Amino acid sequence: MNQGSLVSIDDISKEQILDLLDRAAYFEAHPNSKLLDGKVVATLFFEPSTRTRLSFETAVNRLGGRVIGFSDAATSSTSKGETLKDTIKMVSNYADLIVMRHHLEGAARYATEVTDVPIVNAGDGANQHPSQTMLDLYSIVKTQGRLENLTITMVGDLKYGRTVHSLLMAMRYFNPRFRFVSSPELEMPREYIEICRDLGIEYTEHRDFSPEVINSSDIIYMTRVQRERFSDPMEYEKVKNLYSLRRDMLGNTRPGMRILHPLPRVNEIDRDVDDCPQAYYFEQARNGVFARQAIITRALNIDPTR
Ligand code: CP
DSSP 8-state secondary structure symbol assigned to residue 277: T
Neighbours of 298 (CB within 10 A): 21
Band the pLDDT of 1: cuts 50, 70, 90: low
Instruction: Read off the pLDDT of each residue in 200-205 and give the average, rounded to a whole number.
Output: 98
Instruction: Read off the pLDDT of each residue in 92-99 and give the average, rounded to a whole number.
Output: 98
Find the 55 Cα to ligand 1 centroid distance in Å.
Answer: 10
Q: In whole angstroms, what separates CA 26 from the centre of its chain? A: 20
Can 129 be counted among the known catalytic residues? yes
pLDDT in tens, 32-49: 999 999 999 999 999 999
Residue 233 above 70 pLDDT? yes
Query: In angstroms, rounded to a whole number, what is the distance separating the alpha carbons of residues 71 and 50?
Result: 9
Query: In angstroms, rounded to a whole number, what is the distance separating the alpha carbons of residues 166 and 47?
Result: 19
Position in ligand 1 atom list of the atom nearest CA 53 = 8
| Longest Cα–Cα distance in the chain | 56
Q: In whole angstroms, what separates CA 66 from the centre of its chain? A: 23
* Under 8 Å between Cβ of 136 and 281: no
Catalytic residue among 23, 43, 52, 163: 52
Query: In angstroms, rounded to a whole number, what is the distance separating the alpha carbons of residues 306 and 144?
Result: 30
Find the 226 Cα to ligand 1 centroid distance in Å.
Answer: 12
pLDDT in tens, 277-287: 999 999 999 99
* pLDDT the model gives residue 306: 79
Catalytic residue among 23, 101, 162, 265: 101
What are the structural domains of the chain? 9-128+288-299 (3.40.50.1370), 130-285 (3.40.50.1370)
pLDDT in tens, 235-248: 888 878 889 999 99
